[in-house]
Structure 1
Amino acid sequence: MTVSLEQLRRCHVAVDLGAARTRVYVKGMGLVVDEPSVAAVNIRTGALIAVGTFAEQMTGRTPDHIRVVRPVSGGTVIDIEMAQRMLRQLLGTTLRRRLRRKLRLRAAACTPHDADPLAQRAAVETLVGLGASRVELVDTLIAAAVGCGLPVEQPTATMIMVCGAASTQIAVLSLGSIVTAQRVPVGGDAIDRAVIEHLRHQHELMLPSQSVRPLQLALSGNGLTLQGPVSTEIHGRDVATGLARSVQVETAAVRSAIHTPLTAVLDGIGRVLRDCPPDLVADLADRGIMMVGGSALLPGLDQMLRNATGMPVHIAERPDICAVLGLGAMLDGKIAPMVLNPLVG
């Protein structure tokens, strides 16, 4: 763990700045913000037009003088000023006033595994600009494992896979620490692009980017399994004419398109298992893999992992908010540290 539990108990607010969504947990209040990490800006005046869900709905629908931006990419803040402006608006006036009353406001934030010093500094500066006097950084893998109830403090192996929008993080944990981990630059966005490219090349159909995820979830319950329908009707825009058109798409072909980018994730799991001590790998044969993150719900992903690894694969109850809930549990003192006292004699 990056910091001690005692330091985290002194924090007042926890922030998970993700590429897809921003989540804020306030001590004593719970989860207060869960919105897309998106802002819309008037490039002529620099004024902030909208943030969160409303800004995301503007994607691809704005005039030339309004630009929709994402200040976070791959769990790393790439535009500190815009991230601060977005957070201020998401928190709202009432909540900001309440936090300002805290003497020496402390904040905790998730950072991707093996985040470089510049990425860590960007996260710290973002929260310092909002009034935090001290910022504690916690590895996303640890926070997510705590949030989904894994026994991370025990001397047994637990394997977690954080499926984000821009990347997938895989780790084996034991005794509250990361034994071995890999970060794969493939996430939900790459899978979305694979579906869009498949429809474009095979059916000459353009699908709006905002329609890809609902389409995948619909296919999950309507055909993206071996027992589901052979084909599904999809609506989009014809590449040549620009007119609306419907096509029958074979669900097996969509499965194949999704499988292609996920081979990198399978390679990452293989590298983690190869680097893991044999005793811990034996534990994992029974416990399996716990999937968290918004992209954990992608259709067919859990079954593909079962088939490829032969291990049990579980999806957390609330996979999208596990990381911020884990930080919140640490802030609230719900996690008891395992104390290893040195032996005398």
Structure 2
Amino acid sequence: MTVSLEQLRRCHVAVDLGAARTRVFVKGVGLVVDEPSVAAVNTRTGALIAVGELAEKMTGRTPGYIRVARPVSGGTVVDIDMAQRMLRHLLGEKLRRQLRRKPRLRAAASTPHDSDPLAQRATVETLVGLGARRVELVDTLIAAAVGCGLPVEQPSATMIMVCGAATTQIAVLSLGSIVTATRIPIGGNAIDHAVIQHLRHRHELMLPSQSVRPLQVALHGNGLTSQGPEVTEIHGRDVATGLARSVRVDTAAVREAIHTPLTSVLDGIGRVLRDCPPDLVADLVDRGIMMVGGSALLPGLDQMLHNATGMTVTIAERPDTCTVQGLGAMLEGRIQPLDLESLATAD
């Protein structure tokens, strides 16, 4: 999956197919699509009813003949045909017409670190089905690091943590490449699920998970930190009676439930640091960890990681769009690699 910056500069469009949201960047225009990766289909006729925000609002509220599909899971396309139909409608007829005018349309796409060839092929086939003649694949970790402004091309360590809906990816980068990295199947969805299960078992309460993020309902103020409110009132449905009910929840117990899935993330950070050369680890003492991805905005997560590792933890300015903005920066030639060839010719 090695691709040069020269190849990326020839691309016209960049796509970030995430489990939670799909984003499209058009060269010279900017970010044109930022919508949930959701499509609603009429199972009787096969017709596409809605995509994006509207389709996500339908989740859990549809009659039997309407299916809400998520064609992307964990950054991997699991339903190529549905992903193509979703992208086609998200782009719109006007933008698709503009892209079709390109004589040899080239596209760039981000793929999760260490993704298997089948997952990469599914991403390529999705974009080829939309008219791309060639598709370049870029590691999500490198794209996200470029998008949040890290000096990845320099001979010094930068550590990035991409917090997605389905996975968390952690890496140490230097000289524009990944030195060591890991991918953990724990993301924002697993954290939400931990909160839902806690409230179900402890309080016999079911949350309306699709109307609001359960975590944002359960935790406000300082979130995961102990300085947050001691008790929070939650509204939901009683498991036994099915009636609406409100309960007062101890947020310390909710924090404990959330820490269980996050233990795997802390283990992943430890593995990456153990596999990293000592000189680069020394660089990270000053630089710390950069967090990107939609789940990086989880209240108090940065403080929890700081307490566990002792390292500075910083959240990117726009963590949710860093990956696609990084792809866009590479498409538009805003990133220049460190020139090593000139040093070699001088010897």
Amino acid at match of 1:140: T
The answer on whether the counterparts of 1:223 and 1:230 sit within 8 Å (CA) in structure 2 is no
Matched, 1:278 2:278: yes
Deviation at 1:209, TM superposition (A): 1.6
With the length of structure 2 as denominator, give the TM-score of the two structures.
0.97
Q: Could you say what secondary structure the match of 1:23 adopts?
A: strand
Aligned to 1:338: 338
Deviation at 1:304, TM superposition (A): 1.1
Distance, in Å, in 2 between the alignment partners of 1:30 and 1:315 is 22
Deviation at 1:218, TM superposition (A): 7.0
Aligned to 2:97: 97
The answer on whether the counterparts of 2:218 and 2:232 sit within 8 Å (CA) in structure 1 is no
Aligned to 1:47: 47
Matched, 1:35 2:51: no
Aligned to 2:108: 108
| 1:2-54 deviation per Cα after TM superposition (whole angstroms, max 9, x unaligned) | 21111111100000000000000001110000000000011111110100000
Distance, in Å, in 2 between the alignment partners of 1:28 and 1:151 is 23
Structure 1 segment 164-313 matched on structure 2, within 5 A: 164-211=164-211, 213=213, 215-216=215-216, 219-221=219-221, 224-313=224-313
| 1:182-215 deviation per Cα after TM superposition (whole angstroms, max 9, x unaligned) | 0000000100100000000000000022245264
Aligned to 1:129: 129
Identity of counterpart residues, as a percentage? 84
Deviation at 1:219, TM superposition (A): 2.1
| 1:133-161 deviation per Cα after TM superposition (whole angstroms, max 9, x unaligned) | 00000000000000000000000000000
Count of matched residue pairs: 345
| 1:251-301 deviation per Cα after TM superposition (whole angstroms, max 9, x unaligned) | 111111111100000000000000000000000011000000000011221
Aligned to 2:329: 329
Deviation at 1:217, TM superposition (A): 6.7
The answer on whether the counterparts of 1:223 and 1:232 sit within 8 Å (CA) in structure 2 is no
Range that drifts further, 209-218 or 192-201: 209-218
Distance, in Å, in 1 between the alignment partners of 2:105 and 2:251 is 51
Q: Could you say what secondary structure the match of 1:41 adopts?
A: strand
Give the unaligned 5+ runs of structure 2. none
Distance, in Å, in 2 between the alignment partners of 1:100 and 1:242 is 52
Distance, in Å, in 2 between the alignment partners of 1:34 and 1:187 is 20
With the length of structure 1 as denominator, give the TM-score of the two structures.
0.98
Distance, in Å, in 1 between the alignment partners of 2:119 and 2:260 is 29
Aligned to 2:159: 159
| 1:77-104 deviation per Cα after TM superposition (whole angstroms, max 9, x unaligned) | 0000000000000000100000001110
The answer on whether the counterparts of 1:195 and 1:212 sit within 8 Å (CA) in structure 2 is no
The answer on whether the counterparts of 1:196 and 1:212 sit within 8 Å (CA) in structure 2 is no
